């Protein structure tokens, strides 16, 4: 018979391989784990995930492991059950779905271009450092409006997460209590981290004014502290998980120039004449979607999920008692050869038809922002590949660090503007183009053409009497490329910061 704690040392030494090894070796749907005085089962069969996640809350609920997250995110929809959870989730889902159908694509694209243009000045960047800030800026802009958080606010929020997440992760699976002075230090860090986060939240609420997401939450008449908890959850869940996946996504694009070229071609195919992505074309962009899915399979930010049995029940051939914890590990299910061929390979031809793919959870508690997250990652892949040639500046990175989410290691990438070939024009058909002709083109330009582009072109030609069509085409191509990455300001000048 196993000792109560016989699995605990192996889990704490290497949580990811612990789940993977136990899941791969499983010969039954539920694997008992000896991790303390409470009954714990690893769900090894993906076919059980939906029944568990869709079960009535009177039978299976979030349980004590998830409730420990209240130390940071309070009484938010992630830690609530029953009518309160359903009402808040419905309000958030309605707002996010409306944005996906209307304005999110141009907003997200513009933010990615602005951030990418700034990186071109340095020519190198650390992937997760950039993507964590970029995704935080995206979620703030699309939910609360532009300039809600300052750069200092963004840094404070990100550093506050780092301050508390490892302590929180360690406490979730802890069996033996900390020594009193260790516990006191952890509690102090936790209080300080949450206080800093809530300070940022209050500033965001004040600056957001009448943002639709706040109006939707206000309609629920939440107590002020719980409204703050919900805003904090939106900021954390909206950027922390997406930011980790985005770092891996950029690394894989950098490591595979052929893939980057495919994505650049796909970016052109889904864009209109001004370089803007057309929302209706994105669902058919197979390469970028395959990249996003494969990144989410290999590096699921939510690497573990848990539920707790509330009433005696039959599941997976076992009788489960109240209080039994059910652990589901997407890290295991996404890498188990029983469900995937060559599971460790980054494979864009992979089929995603089974129940073993659950990067956003499942059932009524699946991530409410999954649509926004998928869109953000897809646009990130398309915009970066279209504008830049990326390359790794070091060898293959080590594996991720399991904390509350899956944290990427440092990954230093280099980048430079992607060269764009000019339109092929037969030499025999070229003819001079005067500045007066270009001025007429500006007068007759459609309203969708940004005036600053023509202004910049005229400025570039100010000391030249005449140029041929080849030179004009080259300048126009360069300007369009700068516009694609957000590299021109409103006056048509090159934006360098």
Q: Could you tell me the two tokens for 208?
A: 């957001």
Q: How many residues belong to the chain?
A: 497
- CB atoms under 10 Å from CB of 50, counted, come to 13
Contact by Cβ (8 Å): 429, 417: no
Q: Which of 300, 314, 143 is nearest to 231 (CA)?
A: 143
Distance CA 495, CA 482 (A): 9
Q: CATH 1.10.630.10: which residues of the chain?
A: 8-417
Distance CA 299, CA 235 (A): 21
Q: Strand 388-392 vs strand 313-315: parallel, antiparallel, or unpaired? A: unpaired
Helix, strand, coil distribution of the chain in percent, nearest 5? 55, 10, 35
**What is the full DSSP assignment across 454-492?**
HHHHHHHTTT-SEEEHHHHHHHHHHHHHHHHTT-B-TTS
The CATH code of domain 8-417 reads 1.10.630.10
Contact by Cβ (8 Å): 124, 414: yes
- CB atoms under 10 Å from CB of 67, counted, come to 15
**What is the full DSSP assignment across 24-69?**
HT-SSSEEEE-SSSS-EEEE--GGGHHHHHTS-TTTEE--HHHHTT
**What is the full DSSP assignment across 375-400?**
HHHHHHHHHHHHHEEEEESSS---PP
The C-alpha torsion from 199 through 202 and 206 to 209, rounded to 10°, is 140
Q: Which of 59, 2, 78 is nearest to 305 (CA)?
A: 78
Interacting residues of 418 by C-beta distance below 8 A, sequence separation 6+: 264, 385, 386, 387, 388, 389, 481
Q: Does 140 carry a binding-site annotation?
A: no
Q: For residue 436, what pLDDT is reported?
A: 52
Residue-by-residue pLDDT tens, the chain, 497 positions: 566 677 888 888 899 999 999 999 999 999 999 887 789 999 999 999 999 999 998 999 987 777 778 888 888 888 888 888 888 888 888 877 777 766 889 999 999 999 898 888 889 999 999 999 999 999 888 888 888 888 888 888 888 888 788 777 777 766 667 778 888 888 888 888 888 888 888 888 888 877 778 888 888 888 888 888 888 888 888 888 899 999 999 999 999 999 999 999 999 999 999 889 999 999 999 999 999 999 999 999 999 999 999 999 999 999 999 999 999 999 999 999 999 999 999 999 998 878 899 999 887 778 888 899 999 999 999 999 999 999 999 999 999 999 888 999 999 999 998 876 554 444 444 444 444 554 554 455 444 434 444 443 444 444 344 444 445 544 555 555 554 544 444 444 444 33
């Amino acid at each position: 018979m196993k000792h109560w704690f016989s699995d605990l040392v192996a889990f704490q030494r290497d949580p990811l391989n612990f789940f993977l090894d136990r899941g791969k070796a499983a010969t039954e749907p539920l694997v008992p784990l000896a991790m303390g005085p409470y009954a714990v089962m690893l769900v090894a069969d993906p076919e059980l995930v939906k029944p568990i996640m869709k079960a009535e809350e009177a039978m299976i609920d979030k349980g004590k492991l998830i409730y420990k997250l209240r130390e940071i995110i309070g009484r938010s929809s992630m830690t609530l059950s029953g009518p309160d959870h359903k009402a808040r989730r419905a309000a958030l889902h309605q707002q996010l779905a409306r944005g996906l159908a209307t304005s999110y694509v141009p907003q997200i694209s513009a933010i990615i271009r602005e951030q990418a243009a700034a990186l071109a000045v340095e020519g190198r960047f650390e992937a997760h450092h950039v993507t964590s800030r970029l995704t935080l800026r995206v979620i703030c802009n699309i939910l609360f409006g532009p300039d809600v958080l300052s750069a200092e606010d963004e840094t404070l929020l990100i550093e506050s997460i780092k301050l508390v997440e490892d302590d929180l992760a360690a406490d979730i699976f802890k069996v033996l209590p900390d020594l009193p002075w260790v516990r006191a230090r952890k509690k102090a860090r936790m209080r300080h981290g949450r206080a800093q986060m809530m300070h940022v939240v209050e500033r965001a609420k004040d600056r957001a004014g009448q943002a639709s997401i706040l109006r939707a939450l206000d309609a629920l008449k939440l107590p002020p502290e719980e409204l703050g908890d919900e805003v904090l959850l939106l900021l954390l869940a909206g950027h922390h998980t997406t930011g980790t996946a985005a770092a891996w996504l950029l690394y894989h694009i950098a490591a595979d120039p052929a893939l980057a070229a495919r994505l650049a071609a796909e970016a052109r195919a889904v864009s209109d004449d001004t370089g803007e992505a057309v929302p209706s074309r994105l669902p058919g962009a197979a390469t970028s979607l395959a990249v996003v899915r494969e990144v989410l399979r290999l590096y699921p930010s939510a690497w573990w999920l848990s539920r707790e049995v509330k009433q005696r029940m039959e599941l997976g051939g076992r009788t489960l008692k109240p209080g039994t914890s059910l652990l589901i590990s997407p890290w295991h299910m996404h890498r188990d050869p029983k469900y995937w061929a060559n599971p460790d390979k980054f494979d864009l031809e992979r089929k995603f038809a089974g129940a073993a793919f659950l990067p956003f959870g499942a059932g009524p508690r699946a991530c409410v922002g999954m649509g926004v997250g998928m869109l953000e990652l897809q646009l990130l892949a398309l915009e970066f590949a279209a504008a830049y040639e990326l390359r790794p500046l070091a060898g293959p990175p080590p594996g991720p660090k399991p904390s509350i989410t899956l944290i990427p290691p440092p990954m230093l990438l280099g980048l430079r503007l992607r060269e764009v070939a000019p339109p092929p024009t037969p030499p025999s058909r070229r003819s001079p183009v005067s500045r007066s002709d270009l001025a007429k083109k500006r007068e007759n330009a459609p309203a969708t053409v940004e005036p600053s582009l023509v202004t910049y072109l005229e400025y570039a030609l100010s000391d030249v009497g005449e140029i041929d069509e080849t030179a004009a085409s080259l300048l126009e191509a360069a300007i369009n490329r700068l516009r694609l990455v957000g590299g021109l300001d409103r006056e048509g000048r090159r934006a360098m910061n």
